[in-house]
Amino acid sequence: MVDVIALGEPLVQFNSFTSGPLRFVNYFEKHIAGSELNFCIAVIRNHLSCGLIARVGNDEFGRNIIEYSRAQGIDTTYIKVDKETFTGIYFIQRGYPIPMKSELIYYRKGSAGSRLSPEDVDETYIRSARLVHSTGITLAISDSAKEAVIKAFELAKSRSLDTNIRPKLWSSLEKARETILPILKKYDIEVLVTDPDDTKILLDVTDPDDAYRKYKELGVKVLLYKLGAKGAMAYKDNVKAFKEGYKVQVEDPTGAGDAMAGTFISLYLQGKGIEYSLAHGIAASTIVITVRGDNELTPTTEDAERFLNEFKT
């Protein structure tokens, strides 16, 4: 039994060793990632237990994902090996054409991870957790994965969702909106993690206060509103917190949101206020973007504390 459960597709990441268009990149560095796996690691670094419900292929990458997850302390009991198909992968193109930004190029259609289905969701396991988390990525990759999230949300004590709208994974932005909005309406979301781009698609607003008002009407209790380099905001009971981003050398921003979400939610569940949880979320995301890899450097609560006390820019 674990405190937190996440549902999603773990992936093998091939990160460009040099920046520029992929055709000129000669070396790739392998990392284990995927939004919900990154999230789980952040939850664990902040001292709650976390399980990942997922599928991987019966291949070396699948074994790599399971062993890595186990090594990071994730409960892998419900990571199933699907013999029918392969483990999804993706490449990261860094710093081109926009400096300090990354582009994700997926090879995941028909992957084992996308075959996640309601039969993978164990009722007793879900009911025992304090919170169940997923993202718009899992809602996008297949109907069966979406149904798995819906089943888990139905059984969950409480829920968090990161909208993470990936236009490449949806047939249209309309479809993303039509899928995500009803889920926000139907289930009480304890913590919603999102940003202005996704909120524009979902609610046609970007202003943080407008977004909070509208999400609250839909039943969201706590809103974590990420503003990229500018920092992030958090709202609860009409109280808002803002923390500015830090100026650091950005190697690869991929995974920043997940480090922040897992950190914020883990601390919030431990009774910390939104201001404290937000500061730690910012610390985690700032450290993560200074390197390739989405989760290796996600700090523990204590290391984030040191960052917040000692790092000034």
Residues 17-36 that bind ligand CKP (CB under 6 A): 33-35
Residue 184 CA from chain centroid, whole number: 17
Report what 100 binds from ligand ADP, ligand CKP, Mg ion, none; CB cut-off 5-8 Å by kind. ligand ADP
Counts of helices then strands in the chain (DSSP H, E): 11, 13
- Between the alpha carbon of residue 11 and those of residues 88, 111, 145, 259, the distances in Å are 5, 10, 15, 16
Residue 226 interacts with ligand ADP (CB under 6 A): yes or no? yes
Pick the binder of ligand CKP from 38, 76, 158, 266 (CB under 6 A): 38
- The catalytic residue among 120, 195, 252, 258 is 258
Q: Hey, CA dihedral for 48, 187, 126, 75, is it positive or negative?
A: negative
Contact 223, 235 (CB under 8 A): yes
- Between the alpha carbon of residue 87 and those of residues 46, 54, 56, 160, 232, the distances in Å are 28, 11, 5, 26, 33
Residue 45 interacts with ligand ADP (CB under 6 A): yes or no? no
Q: How far apart are CA 84 and CA 92, in angstroms?
A: 26
Residue 257 interacts with Mg ion (CB under 5 A): yes or no? yes
Report what 152 binds from ligand CKP, ligand ADP, Mg ion, none; CB cut-off 5-8 Å by kind. none
- How many amino acids of this chain bind ligand ADP (CB under 6 A)? 20
Minimum distance, C-beta of residue 8 to ligand CKP, in the bound complex (Å): 7
Residue 254 interacts with ligand CKP (CB under 6 A): yes or no? yes
Residues 156-215 that bind Mg ion (CB under 5 A): 164
Bridge partner residues of 105 (DSSP): 91
Q: Is 222 helix (H, G, I), strand (E, B) or coil?
A: strand
Q: How far apart are CA 272 and CA 87, in angstroms?
A: 37
Contact window for ligand ADP (CB under 6 A) among 150-158, 182-190, 244-252, 262-270: 244-252
Q: How far apart are CA 65 and CA 58, in angstroms?
A: 11
Give catalytic status of residue 258 as yes or no. yes
Element (DSSP H or E) covering residue 45: helix 35-45
Minimum distance, C-beta of residue 309 to ligand CKP, in the bound complex (Å): 25
Minimum distance, C-beta of residue 60 to ligand ADP, in the bound complex (Å): 28
Minimum distance, C-beta of residue 216 to ligand CKP, in the bound complex (Å): 23
Residue 166 interacts with ligand CKP (CB under 6 A): yes or no? yes
Minimum distance, C-beta of residue 146 to ligand ADP, in the bound complex (Å): 20
Contact 90, 31 (CB under 8 A): no
Pick the binder of ligand ADP from 3, 9, 82, 195 (CB under 6 A): 195
Q: Which two tokens stand for residue 64?
A: 């790599």
Residue 62 interacts with ligand ADP (CB under 6 A): yes or no? no
Residue 255 interacts with ligand CKP (CB under 6 A): yes or no? yes
Contact 176, 135 (CB under 8 A): no
Chain contacts with Mg ion (rule: CB under 5 A): 164, 257
Active-site positions read 258
Chain contacts with ligand CKP (rule: CB under 6 A): 11, 33-35, 38, 90, 104, 137, 164, 166, 254-258, 294
